[in-house]
């Protein structure tokens, strides 16, 4: 597939880092992370090599869903700072070569939002149609998204005298996307934050945003929901030529392709690759790379101007819903055998290092794979130092614990008494006395140092974000070997999912100008004999190999 060489497609080769502001760094000592604390740590992110900062919701909220229940789309939660602090984060990030994207959560509001308060006051209130109402809930309903918390997508409101729809929690009434005024508000929200300097949005739960199934009046339904998504993309790019839309779309490959806009690529700019992520864990559980290889091969061909976002862990449960029930049980048995490690019957509430029992070889192999896959790598805060989860917190928030900066009180996150913290710091073997930034910055063999190396090599290799991708067949199913090629530049990546040493047999074809592969981490060279070579790997080993062309200067 020929790829456009368009300089403003910055997200094609970005390194995205997700931050929960209230658990990243407390700048004023009240126990809650804030924008001032984040600003003071942007040099650290620059040092890591981050090029795009993704901020989870920082808007005013009752915080009944970790900020995803919003009461003002145009505001900053006073606990986290004010607009001056937000603009300072944007300015400092820009000065250090980082863009900022923010969460766009517009498929629902908080039930404390002024719109909903007005809507429930009277059937004739102008805001009534901002939400979805029924006298009786429908007889046939889909299973709740959070089956341990909700039994229905509909909640009766005494004051309104009707049921309102809520696909997520009952405190989050769904917005009525068929109402033109709602669509206008969403555009205003996007325009507002773009004007303040953000470079795009991570759009929450995109399929639910376009869903109109609960609306009774069929005449008002959107005739083309994807046309609306195209209009959001066009609007964002009119306001800012660099704007990108990163969508959360955990659907089948065919449906994901639809949300990209098919061959035109005129809807979402990027999507998280949930299918490959889930099959990665299945492959890790089995020590067999075939499930992951199959998932990667199933990515649809589309526009060259779209991109996949690759991730190992995110801020939600590690969902396994696209695996079969038997496959899901395999992953549960390997990485989350205790019930408290599982949630909703479909996901895990653990971080990667504890799931892999702290094996540094295996952890580094997985992150090497993340950065070498075609697409854009996304890190969740703390991954770069190997933070663990706190299962005592419970649910999805087990992985949203305070960032561990030092081995001191509260892990250097806050000077407040521990009882004042938004969430407790992780304890035990993954607590800050053992896992923290300060110690790892001084250790050249630390995970942090390794991640910096990965980022550096990734950013120096255009083919990772832009290149053509091919999986090389291997008779040994413990190995995944693939190539990424852009112009005359080729990188071969090999990963061993087994604890025992293996050999990869590569058939790369012949080239009049090429005669060797060079390991970008060690400098070791391997001669190509007619385009064929055997590469040894240690247990859980990995290699990135540059196919070197005579007289070509490779910046590694």
Per the residue annotation, which of 204, 384, 397, 463 is the catalytic one? 204
pLDDT of residue 7: 53
Q: With beta carbons less than 8 A apart as the criterion, state whether 201 and 239 touch.
A: no
Whether 267 and 228 share a structural domain: yes
The H or E element containing residue 348 is: strand 347-348
| DSSP secondary structure string for all residues of 125-140 | STTGGGB-EESS--SS
Query: Residue 134's domain spans which residues?
Result: 114-165
Q: Examine residue 83 and state whether it is found in any structural domain, yes or no.
A: yes
DSSP letter at 435 equals: S
- Give the SS3 label for residue 358: coil
Whether 65 and 138 share a structural domain: no
The H or E element containing residue 95 is: helix 83-95
Q: Enumerate residues 6+ apart whose C-beta is below 8 A from 553.
A: none
Whether 446 and 483 share a structural domain: no
The pair of three-digit structure tokens given for residue 280, joined into one six-digit string:
């990665």
| DSSP secondary structure string for all residues of 383-408 | GGGT----TTT-GGGGG-PPP--SSS
Q: Examine residue 421 and state whether it is found in any structural domain, yes or no.
A: yes
The pair of three-digit structure tokens given for residue 27, joined into one six-digit string:
């700048």
pLDDT of residue 434: 98
pLDDT < 70 regions, the chain: 1-7, 214, 216-221, 511-514, 549-556
Whether 492 and 519 share a structural domain: yes
- Give the SS3 label for residue 244: strand
Q: Examine residue 80 and state whether it is found in any structural domain, yes or no.
A: yes
Q: Examine residue 38 and state whether it is found in any structural domain, yes or no.
A: yes
Cα–Cα distance list, 171 to 116, 167, 205, 271, 384 (Å)? 11, 10, 17, 27, 34
Last residue of a domain, one of 268, 292, 311: 311
Whether 49 and 78 share a structural domain: yes
The pair of three-digit structure tokens given for residue 109, joined into one six-digit string:
């509001």
Per the residue annotation, which of 174, 248, 267, 327 is the catalytic one? 248
Q: Enumerate residues 6+ apart whose C-beta is below 8 A from 117.
A: none
The CA-CA-CA angle for residues 484, 254, 463, to 5°, reads: 15
Locate tokens 């007005």: which residue?
Answer: 118
Whether 159 and 139 share a structural domain: yes
Locate tokens 């040493």: which residue?
Answer: 501
The closest alpha carbon to 164, from 209, 110, 103, 101, belongs to: 110
Whether 431 and 485 share a structural domain: no
Q: Examine residue 36 and state whether it is found in any structural domain, yes or no.
A: yes
pTM of the model: 0.96
Locate tokens 């006298």: which residue?
Answer: 135
CATH number at residue 142: 3.90.400.10
- Beta pairing, strands 525-527 & 514-519: antiparallel
Q: Examine residue 437 and state whether it is found in any structural domain, yes or no.
A: yes
Q: What number of residues does the chain have?
A: 556
Q: Enumerate residues 6+ apart whose C-beta is below 8 A from 84.
A: none
Q: What is the pLDDT of residues 325-345, one digit of tens each?
A: 999 999 999 999 999 999 999
Please confirm, yes or no, whether 338 is among the known catalytic residues: no
CATH number at residue 15: 3.20.20.80
The pair of three-digit structure tokens given for residue 79, joined into one six-digit string:
């606990």
The closest alpha carbon to 79, from 33, 120, 46, belongs to: 33
Last residue of a domain, one of 443, 459, 475: 459
Q: Examine residue 342 and state whether it is found in any structural domain, yes or no.
A: no
Whether 428 and 482 share a structural domain: no
Whether 88 and 138 share a structural domain: no
Q: With beta carbons less than 8 A apart as the criterion, state whether 488 and 554 touch.
A: no
Last residue of a domain, one of 311, 337, 354: 311
Our count of domains for the chain comes to 4
Strand order in 347-348's β-sheet? 318-319, 347-348, 342-343
Helix%, strand%, coil% for the chain, nearest 5: 35, 20, 50
Whether 152 and 222 share a structural domain: no
Please confirm, yes or no, whether 529 is among the known catalytic residues: no
CATH number at residue 493: 2.60.40.1180
The H or E element containing residue 311 is: strand 307-311
Whether 220 and 303 share a structural domain: yes
Q: Examine residue 185 and state whether it is found in any structural domain, yes or no.
A: no
In sequence order, the β-bridge partners of residue 167 are none
Query: How many other β-carbons are positioned within 10 Å of the β-carbon of residue 316?
Result: 18
Whether 57 and 125 share a structural domain: no
């Amino acid at each position: 597939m020929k790829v456009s060489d368009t300089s403003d497609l910055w997200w094609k080769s970005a390194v995205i880092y997700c931050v929960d502001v209230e658990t990243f760094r407390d700048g004023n000592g009240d126990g809650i992370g804030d924008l001032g604390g984040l600003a003071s740590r942007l040099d650290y992110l620059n040092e890591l090599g981050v090029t795009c900062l993704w901020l989870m919701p920082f808007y005013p909220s009752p915080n009944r869903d970790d900020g995803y229940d919003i009461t003002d789309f145009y505001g900053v939660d006073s606990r986290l700072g004010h607009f001056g602090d937000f603009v300072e984060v944007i300015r400092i990030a820009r000065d250090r070569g980082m863009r900022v994207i923010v969460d766009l959560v517009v498929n629902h509001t908080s039930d404390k939002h002024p719109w909903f308060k007005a809507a429930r006051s009277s059937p004739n209130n102008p805001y009534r149609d901002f939400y979805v109402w029924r006298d009786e809930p429908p007889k046939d309903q889909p299973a709740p998204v959070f089956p341990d918390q909700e039994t229905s997508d509909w909640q009766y409101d005494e004051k309104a005298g009707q049921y309102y729809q809520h696909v997520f929690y009952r405190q989050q009434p769904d917005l009525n996307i068929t109402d033109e005024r709602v669509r206008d508000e969403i555009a205003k929200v996007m325009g507002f934050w773009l004007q303040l300097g953000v470079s795009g949005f991570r759009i929450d739960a995109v399929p639910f945003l376009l869903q109109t199934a609960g609306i009774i009046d069929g005449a008002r339904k959107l005739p083309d929901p994807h046309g609306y998504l195209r209009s959001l993309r066009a609007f964002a790019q009119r306001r800012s030529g660099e704007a990108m839309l990163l969508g959360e779309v955990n659907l089948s490959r065919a449906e994901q392709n639809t949300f990209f806009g098919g061959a035109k690529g005129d809807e979402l700019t990027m999507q998280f690759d949930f299918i490959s992520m889930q099959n990665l864990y299945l492959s890790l559980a089995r020590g067999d790379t075939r499930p992951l290889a199959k998932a990667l091969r199933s990515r649809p061909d589309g526009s060259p101007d779209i991109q996949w976002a690759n991730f190992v862990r995110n801020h939600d449960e590690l969902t396994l819903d696209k695996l079969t029930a038997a496959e899901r049980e395999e992953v549960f048995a390997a990485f989350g055998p205790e019930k408290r490690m599982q949630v909703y019957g479909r996901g895990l509430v653990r971080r990667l290092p504890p799931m892999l029992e702290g094996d540094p070889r295996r952890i580094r192999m997985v992150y090497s794979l993340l950065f070498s896959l075609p697409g854009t790598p996304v890190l969740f805060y703390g991954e770069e130092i190997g933070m663990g989860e706190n299962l005592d917190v419970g649910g999805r928030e087990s992985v949203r614990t305070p960032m561990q900066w030092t081995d001191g009180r509260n892990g250097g996150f806050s000077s407040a008494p521990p009882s004042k913290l938004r969430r407790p710091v992780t304890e035990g073997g993954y607590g800050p006395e053992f896992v923290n930034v300060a110690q790892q910055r001084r250790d050249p063999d630390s995970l942090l140092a390794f991640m910096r190396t990965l980022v550096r090599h990734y950013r120096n290799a255009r083919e990772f974000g832009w290149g053509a991708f091919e999986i090389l067949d291997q008779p040994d199913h413990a190995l995944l070997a693939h190539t990424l090629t852009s112009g005359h530049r080729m990188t071969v990546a090999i990963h061993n999912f087994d604890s025992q040493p293996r050999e990869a047999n590569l058939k790369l074809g012949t080239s009049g100008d090429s005669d060797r592969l060079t390991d970008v981490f060690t400098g070791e060279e391997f001669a190509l004999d007619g385009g064929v070579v055997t590469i040894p790997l240690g247990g859980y080993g990995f290699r990135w190999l540059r196919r070197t062309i005579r007289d070509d200067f490779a910046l590694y």
